[in-house]
Amino acid sequence: MVVGDASLDIDTLVIGAGPGGYVAAIRAAQLGQKVLIVDKSEVGGVCLNRGCIPSKALIAAAHQYESAKHGEAFGVTAENVKVDFSKTQEFKNSVVKKLTGGVAGLLKGNKVEVFNGECMFISENEARCFNEHESPRYRFKHCIIATGSRPIELKTFPFGGRILSSTEALSLPEIPKSLVVIGGGYIGAELGQMFSKFGTKVTILEGLDTILNGFDPDMTKLVVKSMTKTGVEIITNAKAESAEQTDKEVTVKYSVGGETKEVTADYLLVTVGRRPNTDGDLGLDLVGIEMTDRGLVKVDHQGRTNKPNIFAIGDIVAGPALAHKASYEGKVAAEAISGHPSVVDYKVVPAVAFVDPECASVGYTEKEAKEKGYKAKAAKFPFAGNGRALSLNNADGFVKLIFDEETQLVLGCHIAGIEASNLIAELGLAIEMGATLEDIALTIHAHPTLGEIVMETAELALGNPIHVIAPRK
């Protein structure tokens, strides 16, 4: 493959094949670039292999199990409903295999060369790729770094044995009888609630005064209520201090209000955030890439670093560590390399927690909108006023629209309820296009659908709701 130690010439080197990297590689290839993508693991990155996709597959299975046990309202009952968790894991793995195989096919179909191994910069225009079989050198015109992130490991709670990161939790061979979760963010809340639906006794230790910090408080209340129904114990303002494990269990000591307590479980899951993968042997310091104190790469509005031909995207740059943000940035970087005037615009970056009920947000909160100088108001319509939600026997939740009272411009939306993750897309488009309340209210929504709740919320904000009584002025 390589004559001597000469460098092979390519247009664009992409380091990392996650949702940022593989999207960037495909877009760059579509624009006529000769592209090499490098990843030491499977294509698809953490998202497809050890994060977004496998977790949602297990969450879907947990919902299925819960529905099978509790169908009385529909007149559907079943006895001795059981979970064969090995088959559940087989289902999860099959979904992952289909998607990663699909990504591999897309890369091949777009003539993107794939190197399975690691990569290290030699200079601003050269890098060495290596695995146990070969170590070719490549000379590139441009590079997109998309190395992603990994779970933060606390010194007091090192991963191993019965102390798990989200990666190990998603691959457990059995449903644990009990589980302690440190961290009540979206990962801890999603996985904790998922296991509780399978019958696990779950305890969540959260250092702040609420789980799902950053989401609308009204949304969080609904999730806490739902979690409590399945027996999840949520302990807020708790500081986890230490853990002792045996071959069968782990005991966690924590303090609340100055009082030290402890809880014992089969496993401890630590979900306190993610760390950017910029501290390895990539050679960013050798090239002179500018970094922040948090280990993030400094980039401009196109994802370009201080080295004009090197870009960075996804979890290693500022902003939320979200797969869809990384994919978006990947396309912008690939287009910028090809001379397009593409720039990042974070006006609408939806955030979703796949808890029960689902929570999804986009745009401003009412407080944020006021801080930006808008005369902001909120309108809130309940799922209980929607025929489709009632027919699904799933009427907990609401749509809350944030708008400017003077211009009727839609500024934000917060949805808690079934299919919130899908409903939020309409509002992202509305905000991106500069839609007003009237634009949404006058758009005919199919009946009976959950989407009608968005229309009804806009009508409520305008003062002429049909399916709730308008508040007195």
**197 belongs to an annotated ligand binding site:** no
CB 330 within 8 A of CB 314: yes
**190 belongs to an annotated ligand binding site:** yes
**315 belongs to an annotated ligand binding site:** yes
Q: What is the largest CA-CA distance in the chain?
A: 82
**51 belongs to an annotated ligand binding site:** no
Token pair for 356? 């029960």
**186 belongs to an annotated ligand binding site:** yes
**185 belongs to an annotated ligand binding site:** yes
**206 belongs to an annotated ligand binding site:** yes
From CA 269, how far away is CA 243, in angstroms rounded?
Answer: 11
Closest of 233, 230, 222 to residue 180, by C-alpha = 233
Phi, psi of 235 (to 5 degrees): -115, 110
Interstrand relation of 310-312 and 274-276 (parallel, antiparallel or unpaired): unpaired
**148 belongs to an annotated ligand binding site:** yes
Token pair for 468? 């709730």
The secondary structure of residue 408, as a DSSP letter, is -
**15 belongs to an annotated ligand binding site:** no
CA distances, 34 to each of 12, 199, 338, 426 (Å): 6, 51, 12, 36
**365 belongs to an annotated ligand binding site:** no
- Could you give the count of Cα atoms lying within 13 Å of 107 in the half-sphere of its Cβ? 27
**400 belongs to an annotated ligand binding site:** no
Token pair for 11? 């247009």
From CA 238, how far away is CA 84, in angstroms rounded?
Answer: 34
Which residue bears the tokens 């959260």? 206
Single-letter amino acid, residue 82: K
Helix 85-109 and helix 52-69, axial crossing angle in degrees, nearest 10: 140
From CA 10, how far away is CA 273, in angstroms rounded?
Answer: 36
Closest of 450, 338, 317, 446 to residue 394, by C-alpha = 450
The yes-or-no answer on residue 447 being catalytic is: yes
Token pair for 421? 């993750």
| Annotated catalytic residue, options 142, 324, 414, 447 | 447
Single-letter amino acid, residue 108: K
- Cross-strand bridge partners of residue 194: none
Which residues make up each annotated binding site for NAD(+)?
183-190, 206, 273
Which residues make up each annotated binding site for FAD?
56, 147-149, 315
Which residues make up each annotated binding site?
56, 147-149, 183-190, 206, 273, 315
Q: Which are the catalytic amino acids? A: 447
